[in-house]
Amino acid sequence: MSALEPTRALARYLVQARGEDLPAAVRHEAARALLNFMGCAIGASRHATTGRALAAVREFAGPPQATVLGRGERLDCLNAALVNGISAHVLDFDDTHAQAIHPSAPVWPALLACSEWRRVSGPELLNAFVLAVEAEERVGLSVFPEHYQAGWHITGTAGMFGAAAGVGRLLRLDEQRMAWALGIAATQASGLQEMFGSDCKSLHPGRAAQGGMTAALLAAAGFTSSERAIEAPRGFGHVLSTKFDPAVITEGLGSRYELLSNMYKPYACGLVVHAAIDGCIELSREHGLAPDAIEAVELTVSPLVPRLTGNPAPRTGLEGKFSVFHAVAAAMIHGAAGEAQFNDACVNDARVVALRARVSLKVDERIGRTEARVAIRTRDGRVFLAHVPHALGTLARPMSERDLEDKFRALAADVLPEPRIRNLIDLCWTVEKLDDAGALARAAAAPAPAPA
């Protein structure tokens, strides 16, 4: 396979790889990614960003082929992929590959839309997802980190390849057309980091899902592209990056799976804060520490923590995500650090404000990015210590199935009634048994909320 150029080698692999050859651990990771994705998309289904996107495209949408996850509307597949790709990313709570790229948000929206439109079995869906992740991660890593450092939002650029590959597989493209699909994806790849902090950040995976699916549909209709779109001198690798390593794309295809490097966030904020939150929740729970009983919380953290999350007095939910002081205070009071702990109300809650004033930081160069030490002193003079070598959700200490279910429940609680939540969790864990994978997205539909 390594004798082939990367676009061709990748196309061949995507067309030939058999679902029955996937290791069980990879298939299971795909189900975990699915549950996590569903929670993120459903949890943001009524977010203002999602609402704006839906309002903008609704009037132009085609037949009701696919569900807007967590909502009552149905749109044509391409518009549903766009909106669901936006909602999946808007909370910044979706999965992350250990090196780069949020793999699920650009891919699942396209695959799920496709599954409602054409008959797709559960095993076919899982296989397409695994292959899509291989495509996007390998293309992304082939230009990483220079591509990212140049200012590209790699989830948008590389994600386009994932959606094209996954939908192309569901459409059973031949090798020639799969190569075209990858090329049509390459020539649509876009997304600037300058958009971080605006609605456009989540537009990127939305556009990747929509554009990648369009690429596969165009290729299926015989729409031609360069067949060397990734490696050619004026192709993706060289135009969008100063580094391009084709071996990253071709080596170990079918034996090494990038999906096994996938991580899920237990907390709705940046990864660098997670270990401190872990330690604080652990000590509070274990010793039943009431917030009022706490005199001081001292965190020993990596230098990244104050640099990225050093805001001592956030005023909004979004600012709260960039305040380690808020994050640990809210986590100790609520025993969690989900979306509910990063809304405006929680950030301005007097109990949280009071506790976060008693949190202090000590920086230690030797502390890793996902590590923390926590010392809590109570008013009665006791001191409790915790060392978190690896935050929950890292590869060294992955979220358990139960953790993922709890996260899903918290995200879906205000959107879906309990029986539907239970049902959707079951469907995700048993996706391999589904004859009709369209059941997944249909089960994620919710009636529109009553007008306020």
- C-beta separation of 264 from 399 below 8 A: yes
Name which of 163 and 186 has its Cβ closer to a copy of itself. Answer: 186
By CB under 8 A, tell whether 223 contacts a copy of itself: yes
- The structure tokens 């609680």 sit at 413
By CB under 8 A, tell whether 242 contacts a copy of itself: no
Q: Is the peptide bond before 233 cis (omega within 30 degrees of 0)?
A: no
Q: Which of 39, 85, 123, 183 binds a copy of itself (CB under 8 A)?
A: 183
- The structure tokens 């766009």 sit at 82
**396-435 residues near a copy of itself, rule: CB under 8 A:** none
Q: Which of 18, 20, 24, 234 binds a copy of itself (CB under 8 A)?
A: 234
**32-91 residues near a copy of itself, rule: CB under 8 A:** 49, 52-53, 55-57, 59-63, 65, 76-79
Name which of 53 and 421 has its Cβ closer to a copy of itself. Answer: 53
H helix intervals, 144-292: 146-149, 154-170, 175-186, 200-220, 236-239, 247-250, 274-287
Can you read off the two tokens belonging to residue 88?
Answer: 């999946």
Considering only 217-225, 251-259, 327-335, 401-409, which stretch makes contact with a copy of itself by CB under 8 A?
Answer: 217-225
The residue among 170, 189, 168 whose CA lies nearest residue 179 is: 168
Q: In whole angstroms, how close is the CB of 314 to a copy of itself at the nearest point? A: 20
Considering only 128-136, 222-230, 305-313, 351-359, which stretch makes contact with a copy of itself by CB under 8 A?
Answer: 222-230
Per-residue b/e over 194-225, b at no fewer than 16 CB within 10 Å?
Answer: eeeeeebbbbbbbbbbbbbbbbbbbbbeeeeb
Query: 236 vs 59, 182, 245, CA distance in Å?
Result: 34, 10, 12
Name which of 123 and 183 has its Cβ closer to a copy of itself. Answer: 183
Q: Which of 21, 146, 174, 194 binds a copy of itself (CB under 8 A)?
A: 194
Pairing of strands 372-378, 74-75: unpaired
User: How many whole angstroms separate alpha carbon 42 and alpha carbon 207?
Assistant: 18
Q: Which of 214, 300, 302, 394 binds a copy of itself (CB under 8 A)?
A: 214
Q: In whole angstroms, how close is the CB of 60 to a copy of itself at the nearest point? A: 4
Residues that bind a copy of itself (CB under 8 A): 49, 52-53, 55-57, 59-63, 65, 76-79, 150-153, 156, 183-184, 186-195, 197-200, 203-204, 207, 214, 217-218, 220-226, 228-229, 232-236, 238-239
